[in-house]
């Protein structure tokens, strides 16, 4: 007999009023609480810090009992069972699927960094279309009610831009339009709030893919100068950590884009690195760097990953999404040799 996952209703030490506040914030299951720091819960619900700590104390006890964990440790075999639930989303490029060991992985945050016009957004838009494919075609449509959530700080997502990609993958635009949910935050704090609201949206709308394009644009704009560096890094960390917990708890594919900064290099004069420093580097699971080649070719390099080895491949950017270069790749290599 299966055991019902514990919810807010299972808490015995808090009032019905507090439970109603939790539910109105979209916090239904006890695991949802793990997405918030107790002090953030104080701010959201208007409760005392003592009440927030009381909620967490009891919730952790119930979760440990539910998971049959002792002292917070689990068997390696249990972790292997979790890994087997990981699913992979078709990127639209066989080359990219290959170096990613199957495609965009669920239960982790994948970062796409690169200069302007390197194809970060188009790569994400391709994933939005392939998400509506059935699993046998590398999609996430395990049922007809699949949802996709996009936090669009770049203001670039549009149905017009998606139409050629939908046609390529034979996705019904009308069906997809009704299952894609978009937020366009105006500042970094608004963006953080949108990410927190995903707790409710993911469950209610059966979201399987979350895209944040871009993660760092608004924090960079709102917190300028060295004096505000701490605040900028703190809010970036809060965003990516919440996304990562969501990905793990609900088996989601999460893609975030990031900008880059030029840094001096002894051999090549300069090179590009993702912004966000160690805060971002230590909290995303796989980091990709996109760079320009000739024509519409883009180089994609795995610069860091918790489980994938360093690797590099090439893709092509088209109106119908990203794809494999095919004949154009050989032409580019000839140009590099002749140069």
Calpha distance 150→254 (Å, rounded): 10
> What pLDDT is recorded for position 337?
42
Q: Which of 5-14, 28-37, 296-305 has the highest mean pLDDT?
A: 296-305
The pLDDT tens digits for 6-16 are 899 999 999 99
Return the exposure string of 48-82: e unless at least 16 CB atoms fall within 10 Å of the residue's CB, then b. Answer: eeebbebbbebbeeebeeeeeeeeeeeeeeeeeee
Which contiguous run of DSSP H or E holds residue 239?
A: helix 229-250
What is the token pair recorded at 317? 């950017």
Residues 107-112 have a mean pLDDT of 97
Per-residue pLDDT for 160 more than 50? Answer: yes
Calpha distance 212→52 (Å, rounded): 29
Give first-to-last CA distance, the chain, whole Å: 68
Residues 278-286 have a mean pLDDT of 84
What's the mean pLDDT when you consider all of the chain?
88
- Is-contact 82 68, C-beta < 8 A? no
For CATH 1.10.150.20, the residue range(s) in the chain are: 8-66
The bridge status of strand 88-89 relative to strand 104-105 is antiparallel
> Which pLDDT band, with edges at 50, 70 and 90, does 326 fall under?
confident
| Residue 214: cis peptide before it, omega within 30 degrees of 0 | yes
The pLDDT tens digits for 187-207 are 999 999 999 999 889 989 999
Task: Note the CATH architecture for domain 84-338.
Answer: 3-Layer(aba) Sandwich (3.40)
Calpha distance 48→50 (Å, rounded): 5
Calpha distance 190→324 (Å, rounded): 37
Residues 99-109 have a mean pLDDT of 97
pLDDT greater at residue 5 or residue 112:
112
For CATH 3.40.50.300, the residue range(s) in the chain are: 84-338
Calpha distance 163→157 (Å, rounded): 11
> Which pLDDT band, with edges at 50, 70 and 90, does 269 fall under?
low
Residues 68-87 have a mean pLDDT of 74
List C-alpha distances in Å: 119 to 109, 115, 303, 314, 317. Answer: 18, 9, 17, 12, 6
The pLDDT tens digits for 233-266 are 889 998 999 999 999 989 999 999 999 887 766 5
- Is-contact 247 254, C-beta < 8 A? yes
- This prediction has a pTM of 0.83
Per-residue pLDDT for 328 more than 50? Answer: no
Task: Note the CATH architecture for domain 8-66.
Answer: Orthogonal Bundle (1.10)
Q: How many CB atoms lie within 10 A of CB 13?
A: 12
Helix axes 16-24, 49-66, angle to 10 degrees: 80
> What pLDDT is recorded for position 283?
85
> What pLDDT is recorded for position 332?
47
DSSP 138-201: T---SSTT-EEEEEESS----HHHHHHHHHHTT--HHHHHTTEEEE--SSHHHHHHHHHHHHHH
């Amino acid at each position: 007999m299966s055991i019902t996952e514990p919810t807010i209703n299972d808490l015995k030490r808090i009032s019905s009023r507090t439970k109603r506040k939790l539910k109105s914030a979209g916090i239904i299951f006890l695991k949802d609480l793990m997405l918030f720091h107790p002090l953030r819960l104080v701010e959201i619900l208007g409760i005392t810090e003592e009440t927030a700590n009381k909620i967490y104390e009891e919730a952790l006890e119930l979760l440990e009992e539910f998971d049959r964990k002792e002292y917070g440790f689990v068997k390696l075999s249990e972790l292997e069972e979790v890994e087997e639930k990981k699913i992979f989303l078709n990127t639209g490029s066989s080359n990219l699927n290959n170096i990613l060991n199957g495609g965009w992985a669920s239960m982790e945050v994948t970062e796409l960094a690169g200069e302007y016009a390197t194809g970060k957004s188009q790569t994400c838009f391709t994933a939005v279309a392939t998400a509506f494919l059935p699993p046998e075609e590398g999609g996430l449509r395990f049922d007809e009610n699949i949802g996709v959530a996009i936090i669009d700080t770049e203001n670039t997502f549009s149905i017009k831009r998606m139409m050629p990609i939908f046609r390529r993958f034979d996705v019904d635009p009308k069906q997809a339009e009704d299952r894609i949910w978009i937020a366009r935050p105006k500042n970094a704090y608004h963006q953080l709030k949108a990410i927190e609201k995903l707790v409710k949206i993911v469950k209610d709308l059966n979201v399987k893919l979350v895209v944040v394009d871009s993660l760092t644009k608004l924090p960079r704009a709102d917190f300028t100068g060295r004096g505000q560096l701490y605040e900028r890094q703190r809010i970036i960390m809060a965003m990516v950590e919440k996304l990562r917990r969501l990905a793990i708890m609900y088996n989601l594919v999460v893609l975030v884009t990031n900008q880059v900064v030029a840094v001096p290099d002894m051999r090549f004069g300069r090179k590009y690195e993702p912004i966000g420093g160690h805060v971002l580097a230590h909290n995303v699971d796989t980091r990709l760097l996109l760079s320009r080649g000739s024509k519409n070719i883009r180089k994609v390099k795995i610069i860091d990953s918790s489980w994938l080895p360093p690797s590099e491949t090439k893709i092509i950017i088209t109106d119908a999404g990203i794809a494999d270069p095919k004949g154009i790749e050989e032409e580019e290599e000839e140009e590099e040799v002749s140069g």
